[in-house]
Structure 1
């Protein structure tokens, strides 16, 4: 309530007409929190709820994570566990530093609880992120790093481009998310086609084993678009299983605009990917499809439209092993993180009690 009644109105006024200004202000606050060790550690003790789960061989303090896109440059890695998150995914980062698309490029549809963005992987590059993480104190939760293709690199050079990011960042990630599904980099989604995806994932798998040098290999997950047809998605999942992918993240933003209320048609008309409440049921059904299609062989991180603890629990019920929050944090504040972890813990406890009865 404190966030919704005090912080959110301030941030939304700052970002009136340009939501990215509010985003930048928030990141400055969180960067300062990340750098204040005593305050950060006190908040971790206060806010992080224990609901441990192990996925892809990684022990997570709780299964509620930060989705990629909020902390592209890893400037606030210490703040995310202080807000209660059990893990955080930073990026998407590219091998080459790039400014992203022209501004304005982020828009809120407040009545619809949606965000439309066309950021375009604006980031400082993989080498800069590696240097920052090397200099940072130990992160108090598992860290995923989302890697994508540099805009200036043609599709035929995509494999080497992703490999460059993997090499720079391999020592710092608990897992890697391969972003081939953002709608905001021209041609990127073509990498979801079976042949291109097989080549990319095969190369990342081989290089990951080389970089591990006998130590545990970092899991690689694939982030998928919500706009794939079921046959295309089934083919993508077959490639993932064939190439040793550890899991999938479902889903990225959508090009669709279903769920935007008519009074916000101006936001709906903006090009880019949409996240938030309109994706809730859609992403959940894709998670359900992936779980059914793979027979549970691929762990799923559910992402997209998780705005409340009930939304998070519905993702778990659909087959997700972990969930990620982004728009829910923007609209409902950090309280949704702890409440979702508490909801999961209660459900897991009831399930264990029923299985022992």
Structure 2
């Protein structure tokens, strides 16, 4: 990926982040529309790693690494993203009604921290427009659909709003995610309180039918609230929990505080989120074990990061900000590094590695240490 890093440093970082996203995503979609070119790119960037195959959420997946929600908000580029080697693609966040999102500028790079700050505000075309695109998605690509609350809908009607999206979208999804953790829709995170989350998830569960249902939580939850969500997931028989969304914390950044403050409100993603996201994941796994599928996301940049998520308890791993900083070859590097780490580990399969570090910690009576396991210590390249 050195060539991409040079391109980023010389060109892309000088372009408004949202415009750069549109240009890059447009190029990905354009390449994917040419069958021969799409096949050639896929052969180059998405070689099979049979040892990384995983079963999760009742689905057979070619590997554990997927693209997190936020990149393809409207399900317009699924084929192109699969072409690059993502094992699954989570689209959205989609709301029941179309909405433009927050005023621009609303997406910012913190390059010294390898991070992004966004206050996009669930800009999307709405469930009615996204549903037919999902219905036409290419076969063989696993797609999750992330749904959120329409900003204009009052809190008292939030459940009905989520249910409306579910009824339009669930039939076209391999799994469905209830997003109650974005910091960019006023009041949304209040829905993470179990008293409000229980009726919401129950209603969505009824509307989704047999489609696997997950909830995505914030890294800013207190530990006892993480435990409460974990217990609720088990109680309701949810299929999974995604840990975590972006953070409103700003501690420990290399970017000067005054520069960060000047950017305004929003959710921070990327490298600074990694440690807290990993802590939440470990806590969830210690609470639910294998009863609920966990997806680790937040600060995943390298194969080592992904491996640590697996050892901590994640069956699946996702990334987004790392894609911005590493480019199109990023999924290939993650897969190659994971295959190397699995081969060098004491685990026969990736499933055997899931949660092994957290289990070892608890067996040793240590709840705060590393889940390093037996790793090579190399970063993905």
- Whether the aligned pair in 1 keeps the contact of 2:113 and 2:255 (CA below 8 Å) is no
Q: Does 1:129 align with 2:122?
A: no
Alpha-carbon distance between aligned partners in 2 of 1:33 and 1:92, rounded to the nearest angstrom: 24
Q: Tell me the equivalent position of 2:197.
A: 197
Structure 1 residue runs of 4 or more that deviate by more than 6 Å after TM superposition: none
Provide the rounded CA distance (Å) in 2 between the counterparts of 1:299 and 1:268. 37
**Are residues 1:207 and 2:201 paired?**
no
Contact 1:179 1:224 in 2 (8 A): yes
Query: Which residues in structure 2 correspond to 1:1-357 (within 5 Å)?
Result: 1-7=2-8, 9-15=10-16, 19-48=17-46, 49-50=48-49, 51-136=52-137, 138-209=138-209, 217-263=210-256, 265-269=258-262, 270-349=264-343, 350-353=345-348
Instruction: Give the alignment's Cα RMSD to 1 decimal.
Output: 1.7
For the residues of structure 2 that align with 1:335 and 1:32, how far apart are their CA atoms?
A: 17
Give the gaps of 5 or more residues in structure 1. Answer: 210-216
Deviations 1:241-281 (A, max 9, x none): 11121011100000001232143632344201000110111
Structure 1 residue 295: deviation in Å? 2.5
| SS of 1:206 mapped into structure 2 | helix
- CA contact under 8 A between 1:34 and 1:77: conserved in structure 2? no
* Larger CA deviation: 88-97 vs 48-57: 48-57
Displacement of 1:45 in angstroms is: 2.5
Q: Distance in 1 between matches of 2:289 and 2:115?
A: 32
Structure 1 pair 268–116 and aligned structure 2 pair: CA distance change class (3 A): farther
Q: Which deviations, in whole Å up to 9, do the C-alpha atoms of 1:72-100 show, x marking residues without a partner? A: 01111001121111111010000000000
**Structure 1 CA distance for aligned equivalents of residues 35 and 169 of structure 2:** 24
Q: Which residue of 2 aligns with 1:212?
A: none
Structure 2 portions without partners, runs of 5+ = 353-381
C-alpha spacing 1:7/1:82, structure 2 compared with 1 (3 Å): farther
**Distance in 2 of aligned mates of 1:95 and 1:218:** 18
In 2, distance between residues paired with 1:173 and 1:295?
25
TM-score normalized with structure 1 length? 0.92
Distance 1:352 1:266 in 2: 45
Measure, in 1, the Cα distance between the counterparts of 2:315 and 2:9. 30
Aligned residue for 2:185, secondary structure, equals: coil
